[in-house]
Structure 1
Amino acid sequence: MAEAVEMTVPVISVSSLEKTFVTEKGDLVKALAPVDLEVKSNEFICIVGPSGCGKSTMLRILAGLETPTGGEARYMSYEISGPGRERGMVFQEYSLLPWRTVAGNLGLGPELAGEKPESYGGLVEEYLELVGLSDFADAYPYELSGGMRQRAAIARALVNNPEVLLMDEPFGALDAHTRILLQGELLRIWETHRKTVLFVTHSVDEAVSLADRIVVMSARPGRIREIITVPIERPRRRSDPRFGELAYEVLSMLDREVGCRS
């Protein structure tokens, strides 16, 4: 008698996903060619590719903020048709509401869902402590550094207890030192709470530091050229020769893509 094979549904899957935009002049711009990808529970996926290749567009489709023009995107077995609390989005621009305190920003999701402050106040405090912002609960975003604002944005997404974190160049505007510090913070949070993460970045170094798998995309229209499993155990050191070799391999792929486009 044949053994039963355990079937697991991917947390995120895209099948033949396409996106075409119409410019103000009426021209068609194809951002994504057919893309297929499956992401397992608790995976940390980094997506890299040339500028304009549709990385952020794919992430916005997964967040339910854009509608595909072909194919489909799914969370578990459900087609994504709009935003949902099971998918948290972190943007590069922080996107904190300037008129609300840090704690008020963290409580925005539960508040909009109709929950009472007494039901989520403890959770807000927990995540403020997790990202090291307990002393700044009553501060306003303009009173924080860029790194602190981004930690607040990550905590705000986590308060909703999403299964999936969608992160669009979240550290792109930060200085190099703060960026490396927040990469470590993000990994610590991920290892503690084991979310599924899709992380768009232009930094190959960042992708090699963070990812279980790196998705390398082509120049526009974006296709997946390669999916690379990172064979380096955590914590990863940039001085490890394997780190440099893998970064060079990914950079070489991207250089070829840029060369094809020029």
Structure 2
Amino acid sequence: MNIASNCLRIENLSKKYVSEKDKVVHALGSTTIDIKENDFVCIVGPSGCGKSTLLRIIAGLEAATTGKVFFYGKELKEPTRDIGMIFQQYSLLPWRTVEDNIVLGLEFRKESNAIKKEAAEKFLNIIGMGEFRNAYPFELSGGMQQRVAIARALANDPKVLLMDEPFGALDAHTRILMQRELLRIWRDNRKTILFVTHSVDEAIYLADKIIVMSSRPGTIKKVIDVDMPRPRDRSNVLYGAMSNEILNMLDDEINKGNNYKIEMQDF
């Protein structure tokens, strides 16, 4: 597969929800995106614009109202091990050790103990947590738990990682450390990453490409190529200019959204 070829194509995807009171909420408008292999793509947009919904549809966790998802040219109709998802909540099993959490997916696939052991060693080394292999989630900091969640996803060897606000619950310093760690893991493993965030700074720091979404129903407002070398310098004039551009776009969309605000849980 040519590295420049499309890994994912999201074609005319939309999603409507019906509330308990039969109110229809159009969360995601008709959306088309092409994601190249090994790209790191961030999605930003106002709350409720369908960012998380989009990831869940790609992951096969819920159905679209209209449209299709293609993975290397083949339409996706059910979840696949080639697409892994990491949530904001770490979702670690509290009764399992770090090592046992990492190999959970391999256990479901009934892999041999030798394969599980090899994977555990590899990914404990990648996340730098070998000395914590026998620790339980409650004994770990938030950043350490998220590193374990990333290792668990990588252990399944997916081609694509979907990440839904994975650092949103972390303090500012830990968040910066995890951003650097994620970039290191991405460089070493060369996965395709689709990363949802509310932080414009985080998107610019991480992404090759930033997708800015409109207010609900979310559609693509602009796609921005981040043409800055890594590691990125937050004091760079271009960094600041790009941040202002995106923040201004989001302000415009939030103002539009306030004109027809619906009192309903943020999808």
- Please give the TM-score of this superposition, normalised by the length of structure 2: 0.94
- Residue number in structure 2 paired with 1:56: 52
- Which of 212, 216, 219 is the matching residue for 2:215? 219
- Residue number in structure 2 paired with 1:39: 35
Mapped to 1, the partners of 2:188 and 2:3 lie a distance apart of: 26
Please identify, of 159-168 and 118-127, the stretch whose mean Cα deviation from structure 2 is larger. 118-127
Structure 2, gaps ≥5 residues long: 259-267
Mapped to 1, the partners of 2:101 and 2:73 lie a distance apart of: 31
- AA aligned opposite 1:226: K
Confirm or deny that 1:94 pairs with 2:90: yes
- Residue number in structure 1 paired with 2:262: none
- Residue number in structure 1 paired with 2:146: 150
- Residue number in structure 1 paired with 2:232: 236
Contact 2:213 2:221 in 1 (8 A): yes
Mapped to 1, the partners of 2:214 and 2:136 lie a distance apart of: 40
| Aligned 1:72-151 pairs, distance under 5 A | 72-151=68-147
- Residue number in structure 2 paired with 1:18: 14
Mapped to 2, the partners of 1:188 and 1:252 lie a distance apart of: 30
Number of corresponding residues: 257
Mapped to 2, the partners of 1:106 and 1:140 lie a distance apart of: 12
- AA aligned opposite 1:26: D
Structure 1, gaps ≥5 residues long: 1-5
- AA aligned opposite 1:76: Y
Contact 2:5 2:37 in 1 (8 A): no
User: For residues 7 and 142 of structure 1, do their structure 2 counterparts lie closer, same or farther at Cα, with a shift above 3 Å needed?
Assistant: closer
Contact 1:9 1:77 in 2 (8 A): no
Contact 2:3 2:36 in 1 (8 A): no
Mapped to 2, the partners of 1:117 and 1:67 lie a distance apart of: 35
User: For residues 7 and 207 of structure 1, do their structure 2 counterparts lie closer, same or farther at Cα, with a shift above 3 Å needed?
Assistant: closer
Contact 2:41 2:195 in 1 (8 A): yes
Cα-Cα RMSD: 1.2
Mapped to 2, the partners of 1:25 and 1:260 lie a distance apart of: 25
Mapped to 2, the partners of 1:174 and 1:120 lie a distance apart of: 29
Give % identity: 54
Give per-residue Cα distances to partners, 1:64-102, cap 9 Å, x unaligned: 101101011111122222221101111000000111111
Mapped to 2, the partners of 1:142 and 1:176 lie a distance apart of: 21
Mapped to 2, the partners of 1:103 and 1:182 lie a distance apart of: 20
- AA aligned opposite 1:182: M
